[in-house]
Amino acid sequence: MAVGLVDAGGSDGRQYGGRITVFVALSCVTAPWAALCSAMTSEPLDVLHSTGGVSSMGSFLEEFFPDVYRRMKGDVRVSNYCRFDSQLLTLFTSSLYIAGLLTAMLLSSWFTAMHGRRPSMIIGGAGFLAGAAISGGAINVYMAILGRALLGVGLGFANQVRRRKELKPSKILQAVLLYLSEMAPARYRGAFSNGFQLSLCLGSLAANIINYGAEKITGGWGWRLSLGLARVPAVLFTVGAVFLPETPNSLVQQGEDRGIVRSLLQKIRGTDDAAAVDAELDDIVAANSAAARGGDHSGLRLILSRPRYRPQLAVAVLLPAFTQLNGINAIGFYAPVLLRTVGMGESLALLSTVVTVVIYTASTVVFMFVIDRFRRRTLLIAGSLQMLVSEVLIGAVLAAKLGDEGGMARGYAAALFVLIGVYVAGYSWSWGPMTWLVPTEMFTIFIAQGFVAMLCRMRAWLFFFFAGWIVVMTAFVYLFLPETKGMPIEQIGKVWREHWFWGRVVGSDELQATDKL
């Protein structure tokens, strides 16, 4: 439900205007470093990243997970589907998301509401720095998990859920992406948001290229390079955030004087059109005032008590759930593991993921050119169909050609790799960039911790399980997701009142709230 590139107006059709200024350009330069940090340390919505590659490296497994290493080498007789079945190994992956979710729920949301987006971004960068340093220098598995947890703290500040009571789907954003959305002129907001997704792709590509090279380092320390190099974008992101201004939306939320906010907004937009600046500021103030009338700071209490927020709540919960249940993060975390399971060597499995990330990046670039030529719902449904066909065929190949013992013929392994590429492409130009506007940590924890155990027990049927969820989420988009193309952030509530189903849910409660604005 990303906001598009077209000019968006205020509540009475006014045009905000604005151009790319120094402030906007600086935010464009700084924010992608956060995406690179996230991708290189396992970003929730990324598809292929450093953790999946490191988890399949023999030197890493031998040092920290010797039981998995022996199963992988064939020293212990076990089903192909169960070679990597270790809850401690999956805890290494999911500890980042557990820490990130707890940080977001208990600390960072409150901190951002009180102190703004920029301080949260700085603290998030510091968390990335500390986590990458400890992960790269780990001497035992618990130190490695601690490093991942500290990365989660950084992720929690960079990807936290706002506890403001602007309870529209477009307001439940990650701190960095929220900062970008609020700094960008309305007609460029879609491109800015997708630029963040593109940075994630580039970060994934960098991480997988590093993994491929690190695996060839003699001495068994290449995994330290893979985990530790996230410090580079973390430094650049943290330093860049120091020089960024706070957003006008955040200043209004904190009660800053209107004149000061107006002056900053005018500088950010780079326009002498006083009417356009006042129109945008009026909508920001009105949205904040409507939120403030909700009473105390308990956003959850307000959501549950007002019918007009139920559609947003349903979408905010279901979209991230669907994003995880379609299988993308299962493949993302464990693509090298899966390819090694079907018989590919360590080096070839890592090289294959590099190629897949190139496909992912190219598809994301394509999305940047089609995002405002097609409706959001159309892109989501088309991407779902592409993913569905690929997922079913992946499950069919595994069911037919991979048993508990022995490998898979090279031709079928190649076909499996191609199908993964087709699946990733479908995700990257539809659900990947479209669902950046909702939190995903909770569902990512479930997938990260449960995938290898599910693969061991469900075998090829796991991919049919994911395919079933793709059918469900496609039906949800078709029936219940309203179109938001060209809708400004401050006016997003209009789509719920006009929807065939949600209009009946919000009812008079939404109309009363609108009358008070």
Q: Do domains 19-246 and 306-508 have the same CATH topology?
A: yes
- In this prediction, what percent of the chain has a pLDDT beyond 70? 70
Output the pLDDT for position 134. Answer: 92
For residue 4, give the amino acid letter: G
Range among 179-183, 386-390, 476-480 with highest mean pLDDT value: 386-390
Report phi then psi at 9, rounded to 5: -105, 180
Is residue 4 over pLDDT 80?
A: no
Q: 19-246: what fold?
A: Growth Hormone; Chain: A; (1.20.1250)
Q: pLDDT per residue over 94-125, tens digit each? A: 788 788 778 877 787 778 777 777 888 888 88
CB 350 within 8 A of CB 208: yes
Distance of CA 475 to the CA centre of its chain: 22
Q: Does the pLDDT at position 198 exceed 80?
A: no
> Which one, of 366, 458, 357, lies nearest residue 82 by Cα?
458
Distance CA 433, CA 399 (A): 31
Give me the pLDDT at residue 486, please: 63
pLDDT tens, residue by residue, 356-373: 778 888 887 777 777 667
Cα separation, 25 vs 10, in Å, equals: 24
User: Are the C-beta atoms of 153 and 100 separated by less than 8 Å?
Assistant: yes
Residue pLDDT, tens place only, 265-305: 888 888 888 888 888 888 888 877 766 665 444 455 666 66
Which residue matches tokens 């510091």? 126
Q: Is pLDDT larger for residue 33 or for residue 280?
A: 280
Q: How high is the pLDDT of residue 303?
A: 63
Q: Within 13 A of 321's CA, how many CA atoms are on the CB side?
A: 12
Token couple for 64? 């920290």
Give the pLDDT confidence score for residue 43 in this predicted structure: 42
pLDDT reading at 441 higher than 50 = no
Confidence band for 435, pLDDT divided at 50, 70 and 90: low
Burial class (CB in 10 A: 0-12, 13-18, 19+), 499: middle
**Which structure tokens are listed for 344?**
């590919």
Condensed to tens digits (0 to 9), the pLDDT of residues 58-93 reads 788 888 888 888 887 777 778 877 877 888 887 887
Gap between the Cα atoms of 29 and 122, Å rounded: 15
| SS3 category, 102 | helix
Domains of the chain, by residue range, sit at 19-246, 306-508
pLDDT by residue (tens digit) across 325-366? 788 867 766 677 677 766 676 677 777 777 877 888 888 777
Say yes or no to pLDDT of 216 above 70. Answer: yes
- Averaged confidence pLDDT in the chain: 74
Can you tell me the distance from the alpha carbon of 369 to that of 66, in angstroms, rounded to the nearest whole number? 47
pTM > 0.85: yes or no: no
Measure Cα distances from 384 to 223, 315, 322, 419, 479 in Å: 35, 17, 11, 14, 14
Q: Which of 488, 438, 499 is nearest to 162 (CA)?
A: 438
Most confident of 16-30, 177-191, 277-291, 378-392: 378-392
What are the structure tokens assigned to 294, written together? 């909700």
Whether residue 470 is predicted with pLDDT greater than 80 in this model: the reply is: yes
**Given this model, what pLDDT does residue 161 score?**
42
- What tens digit of pLDDT does each residue of 275-284 get? 888 888 888 8
* Of residues 59, 32, 39, 72, the one with CA closest to residue 215: 59
**pLDDT(495) > 50:** yes
More confident position, 463 or 324: 463
Q: CA 119, CA 353: separation in Å to the nearest integer?
A: 35
CA dihedral 265, 270, 273, 276 (to 10 degrees): -50
Q: Which residues does residue 15 pair with via DSSP β-bridges, in sequence order?
A: 9
pLDDT (tens digit per residue) in 166-175? 333 333 335 6
Task: Considering the domain delimited by 306-508, tell me its CATH architecture.
Answer: Up-down Bundle (1.20)
Query: Does residue 385 carry a pLDDT above 90?
Result: yes
